[in-house]
Amino acid sequence: MARLKVGIIFGGCSEEHPVSVKSAQDVARNLDVVKYEPFYIGITQSGDWRLCDGPGSGWEEGNCRPAVLSPDRRVRGLLVLDQGRYEAIALDVVLPVLHGKLGEDGAIQGLLELSGIPYIGCDIQSSALCMDKSLAYLVAGSAGIATPNFWTVMADEEIDPDRITYPVFVKPARSGSSFGVSKVSRKEELLSAVETARRYDSKVLIEEAVAGSEIGCAILGNELDLIAGEVDHIALSHGFFRIHQEDRPETGSDNSVAIVPADIPEESRVLVQEKAKAVYRALGCRGLSRVDMFLKEDGEVVLNEVNTFPGMTSYSRYPRMMAAADLPLAEVIDRLVSLALTGKLR
């Protein structure tokens, strides 16, 4: 039986390029090469596309050829430059292992829609919606899901520090991980925090801090057919949770530990999973997402954000939550491929 040809896109131009490469390395380690024939497409930080042997260390200097994903549906795959001529390589499915801008915001999804190749993960609309935290809050709030109180600040817009209730978190509205995020406890700190966030996005989100535990839930599936992974809980020793900011995140964080399964009551665990599914459906997600929330002392669950292609590294939260629910990464990949090709979990 012929193997499925899987295009695995990784790297990218965003600040999350290094995390994407590490995610792709773990995907490669868990990909069943008996079932799948992988084609690794690395995007450099300057935006060059290259077909390479894999996402290992130093992949950019390895055996790479210039390649592009063709938007022409007659190709339905890659155009690879070889000795001055383009060779067409058809693909059965694409796995975009990309995080942040141009990876989770609908950009790559738009190119994949043009190409006609089935792909894993959220579509253009849900990717763009979840990437913009303020829009995600508006849609989720209209579906009856609790969100933090928030304000948005557009490019060059002035903000009056006296109209804000402190403490708040100031963050880029359309960016991933914790890049450009600041906690502000006094009005004198606000304008500086806004300028920090503007380094990553012209649109800035100011949200009222929620007093509660930071929790997350991994979701897999489409529409009504969803699987929830185990809930995790971020235990902080000090400060606030800053994902992917460490020099060596695989060795652990200096102020947080992700506890899986979360050390919360069973009724809270079930509620978190159901709320995560409700958020996922309200925002139109498909394939996979990690829904981050707050669990307040009174039991209320409040949305934090949705990651439409969460990290897949050995230390990332999504695969750890799924593994705790007896779904190792190899099986998650199998199910994601099935969802992309048939729309159904197998």
* Annotated catalytic residue, options 50, 99, 101, 203: 99
φ and ψ of 82, to 5 deg: -140, 110
* Annotated catalytic residue, options 103, 176, 180, 311: 311
φ and ψ of 243, to 5 deg: -75, 140
Reduced to 3 states (helix: H, G, I; strand: E, B; else coil), residue 200 is: coil
Q: Distance between CA atoms of 103 and 125, rounded to whole angstroms? A: 13
Q: Distance between CA atoms of 315 and 232, rounded to whole angstroms? A: 13
* Annotated catalytic residue, options 50, 174, 233, 290: 290
Residues 320 and 260: beta-carbon distance below 8 Å: yes
Integer angstrom CA distances of residue 93 from 41, 339, 346? 13, 11, 17
* Annotated catalytic residue, options 133, 203, 244, 320: 244
Active-site residue flag, 315: yes
Residue 210 tokens, joined: 């929620």
* Annotated catalytic residue, options 19, 170, 231, 337: 19
* Annotated catalytic residue, options 11, 17, 21, 22: 22
Integer angstrom CA distances of residue 222 from 248, 277, 290, 336, 339? 34, 10, 14, 10, 7
For residue 236, list its beta bridge partners: 256
Active-site residue flag, 40: no
Burial (0-12, 13-18, 19+ Cβ within 10 Å), 247: exposed
Q: Is the peptide bond before 261 cis (omega within 30 degrees of 0)?
A: yes
Active-site residue flag, 17: no
Q: Distance between CA atoms of 43 and 55, rounded to whole angstroms? A: 10
In 143-291, alpha helices (H): 190-198, 266-282
Contacts (Cβ under 8 Å, ≥6 apart) of 40: 8, 10, 24, 28, 51, 52, 53, 54, 55, 59
Catalytic residue set = 19, 22, 99, 244, 250, 290, 311, 315
